[in-house]
A and B are shown apart, each in its own frame.
Chain A
Amino acid sequence: MQVQFTEDGIHLPEIGLWLDNTQPCAAAWLSHAHSDHARGCHAQVIGTPATLRLYRMRLSLAENQEAPKMFPLNFGESMPWKGATLTPYPASHILGAAQLLIEFAGERLVYTGDIKLRPPLAGDTTEVIPCHRLIIESTFGLPIYKLLTREAAAQRIIRFAQECFDDGQTPAFTGYPLGRGQEIVHVLANAGFRTAVHGAIAKFIPVYEDHGFRFPGWEPYEAKATAGKALVVVPDHGRVLESSGKNIRRAYVSGWAALDNARLRGGAEELIPYSDHADFDELLELVERSGATHVDVVHGYTEPFAHILRSRGLSASAPQRASDRTNIEAEG
């Protein structure tokens, strides 16, 4: 099956499908609803119901612009598409995130999108899909990145919040608006802390609730009433908070928190290395268990990770794309 890697996304010309294309196109698969993957306004979009709902919330249509035609597809549910069969499976990156199995002319190709193998703090659990060819991300594709399991991460989040409260301080956690933010709120709220949530994160909580996740007693964040609450805010706001003189201590929950220099980069005192991306060991495990005979590495440390796979006897390449890790603020 032909695969073309471009700056804007991945193109499968034989079946006229683009994967996570950032520019408008005829038909696109959306692996998940982060804006670096789901942002173009395409004529037709395929995705899981949760992804499509989140995509709609983020999509701002110009006047007279036609809304994309949406094809919701549940996990494990197949759909014929121009001679191929498309089946999504959980990728557990964020709510709704899915890998796509494409079966065409006897070949099984899996595109992971952003993926996490171990169970997340809140979300679905990933399945490994046997395939011939695997297109995988490598956000944390270096052996220095070993991240916490969800149990260990939850423990660290709770311990930090408790430590702060014991010292009369206010803990502030920073997370991206969609995914990490809700995961942190899920841990804190279920541990019984009063949890105040920044608006950008809060607006997606109902979607998580509709998918069965509970956030008991969370409340909207108010700048004037922060004492006694665990705060969950977006990263930029975390910096604002810290310099506000409100006796705030900040924790950075991210895969980038695996390195000490994250402390300098983000300024947070507490580093909790947990991510909605697979860490290095998970990536290797995913590749090995998939049984793929060829692997394309498309995001992050593409060249080094492909090099490591090759040194283990696999066929692997890192197609040149613009999304490789050049931006230090990449979501992780």
Chain B
Amino acid sequence: MDALALACEDIARVSSKLKKIQRLAAYLQPLDDCDLLLAVQFLSAGPAAQPGVNQTLFPSEEKTSLSVGRALIREALQMATGWDREILRICFSETGDSGETASLLLRGLSAGEPMTLRHAEQLYTQLSLARTSARKRELLTQTYLRYRPLTIKYFIKIITRGLRIGLMERMVEEAVALACAVPAASVREANNRLGDLPQVALAARRGELASIETRLFHPMDFMLAKPLERLEDLADPAHWLIEDKYDGIRSQIHFDNGQVRIFSRGMEELTQAFPEIAAAWKNIPGNGIVDGELLAWRDGRPLNFNILQQRIARKRVRATLIQEVPVIFMGYDALLHNSTLLLNKGFAARRQALESILENAPPLLHISRQHKAATLEDVDRLFRESRERGNEGLLLKRQDSLYEPGKRTGSWHKLKRPFGTLDVVITSAEQGHGRRAIYFSDYTFAVRTPNGFANIGKAYSGLTNNEIKELTKILRAASTEKFGRVILVKPEVVLEVAFDGVQKSPRHKSGYALRFPRILRWRKDKKADQSDDLARLEALYNSSIT
């Protein structure tokens, strides 16, 4: 663990992605098998393995699987250092990181004993098994005082699931590949099949990647569609299979003779939120993975996404809500059927598998209708028909396209048109990642209200690097307050954003959020008081739900 902490510090010191990967690979390469498993585990999935879900790198959660939250980390630090709550609060707010604060305050206090990776695992296990918060706090306090502060820094960061050294899960995969001298794509693909990067790393080292079988019940990467800016850019309309583009929740069904789990594109599990869909899948014989969309549905038509929204983020669903917001599953691809992986089969073959899976399916499970077009005019007509059916636009899939997980290659295209645009004002900015880490590249923006501004969304794409550089200077000068990576700024800069819809949102003070906002232009010509106001947003929302 001491060496892992040093390696992380070393990785943080360079900004080049390649160098980070090289440094990580150099650390991983000489580890024995057991340490390799643990190191990859800690770096990619946190303190404790939870097979199946949340294998993404550090999803933001207040509490972790150890039930050790930030409050507990802080209380233990209070006990270990003697600093009172108020001083600790200020220290935490200055660093913006629990692990770093602990390490800084423990200098000169800890016994400096070495900690191995195996020892770290034992400590995590003890923390996880401890029944009461008091016991956890006691364990953590002892840990603080016993080991090296730098090691504690990463011991805690692994618990809070934020290393903040500019390391994405993809980079851990690449480092594993480099350390084991195998192609990065083979590690990526194996991890997509298995969903367990530590085991994949071990297999990579042993040259056994090819024999890694697909494991059900962990989310695989979704294949993505490239936006088609203009219909005229489509070269050969006859080569595409065309489906409606649905405005629902993209999801992946894993089923195995009565066992079912549903995952979202954010790799979260949705099974509990959509029990009627899970129940319908229980009737499907055999096993498989199906890609599709959850849609609110009534009288043969999709309902607006705003309505489907009510079904999200609920652990338990009331029966009445299931009635009020009826949902169906619209299947459009099959990734696995009866233990045969279909990723490398052409779309036609996958479609055939999909049809055989959903043959005699219960009424809640639909198959997306396919169309063919001979000319661009046909495509345009299909687009309009799709919109009339209440869908977003079209999805075009090349007939021979493979299912390429996590990729946006252009063998799938989506055709949609923005719902509208608004002139909004930046109210806070966040530092980006990787090459953009030194710039404020993520912007939260607002519309005018009678007494100020109210946030409606956040966007980070659409500006050129030069514009981001220039904006960074302006925003830094306009900053009024700072919280870790985020600065609040005086509302001065106006952006024009395009978006695909407006929805209700309790998260924003305005009560609304934009769907898929992207920046069209920096409106240097406009002042904040010329931006759009809440009334316009409300009008847009009202027009969208009818």
Contact = CB atoms under 8 A, between A and B. Distances in A.
Interface of A: 142-144, 146, 239, 243, 258-261, 263-264, 266-267, 269-270, 301, 304, 307-308, 311, 328-329
Contact of B87 (A143, A239, A329): A143
Given A142-B87, A144-B105, A301-B90, A269 B15 contact: yes
B231 to A, nearest CB: 39
A31 to B, nearest CB: 26
A304 to B, nearest CB: 5
B323 to A, nearest CB: 49
A270 B14 CA distance: 8
Given A259-B100, A269-B14, A270-B13, A264 B91 contact: no
A308 B94 contact: no
B485 A264 contact: yes
B439 to A, nearest CB: 8
B84 A142 contact: no
B107 interface: yes
A260 B153 CA distance: 11
Sorted from nearest, which 10 A-B pairs have the closest CB atoms? Answer: A267-B438, A144-B104, A144-B91, A264-B431, A304-B90, A328-B482, A259-B95, A260-B100, A264-B437, A269-B15
Contacts of B437: 263-264, 267
13 contacts: A142-B94, A143-B81, A143-B83, A144-B105, A146-B107, A239-B438, A259-B95, A260-B12, A260-B164, A261-B485, A263-B437, A264-B437, A267-B438
A142 B104 CA distance: 11
B196 interface: no
Nearest to B96: A261
Contacts of B299: none
B392 interface: no
Contacts of A328: 479, 482
B101 A243 contact: no
Interface string B97-114: 100110011010000000
Q: Which of A243, A260, A269, A301 has the most CB of B within 10 A?
A: A260
A243 B97 CA distance: 28
A301 B13 CA distance: 28
A263 B12 contact: yes
Interface string B72-94: 00000000010110110011001
Given A259-B94, A261-B97, A329-B476, 6 more contacts: A243-B469, A261-B96, A261-B485, A264-B437, A264-B438, A269-B14
A307 B94 CA distance: 17
B484 interface: yes
B438 A261 contact: no
Contacts of A266: 438
Looking at chain B, what size class is its interface with the partner chain? 20 to 34
Contacts of B91: 142-144
B95 A261 contact: yes
B167 to A, nearest CB: 14
Contacts, number: 59
A292 to B, nearest CB: 21
Contacts of A239: 438
B8 to A, nearest CB: 11
Contacts of A301: 90
Contact of B95 (A144, A146, A304): A144
B84 A311 contact: yes
Contacts of B84: 311
B145 to A, nearest CB: 16
A296 B101 CA distance: 27
Nearest to A261: B96
Given A144-B101, A264-B431, A264-B485, A304 B438 contact: no
A153 to B, nearest CB: 17
A261 B87 contact: no
Contacts of A144: 91, 94-95, 101, 104-105
A137 B124 CA distance: 42
B86 A307 contact: yes
Interface in B14-34: 14-15
A311 B81 CA distance: 14
Nearest to A236: B473
A142 B420 CA distance: 49
Contact of A258 (B14, B83, B104, B482): B104
B464 to A, nearest CB: 14
Contacts of B90: 142, 301, 304
Contacts of B105: 143-144
Contacts of B83: 143
A243 B15 CA distance: 13
Contacts of A263: 12, 437
A247 to B, nearest CB: 12
B432 to A, nearest CB: 9
B394 to A, nearest CB: 41
Most buried by A among B83, B94, B97, B100: B94
A174 to B, nearest CB: 13
Nearest to A160: B13
A301 B94 CA distance: 11
Contacts of A243: 469
B15 to A, nearest CB: 6
A159 B15 CA distance: 19
A144 B92 CA distance: 9
Contacts of B438: 239, 264, 266-267
Contacts of A143: 81, 83, 87, 91, 104-105
A267 B90 CA distance: 23
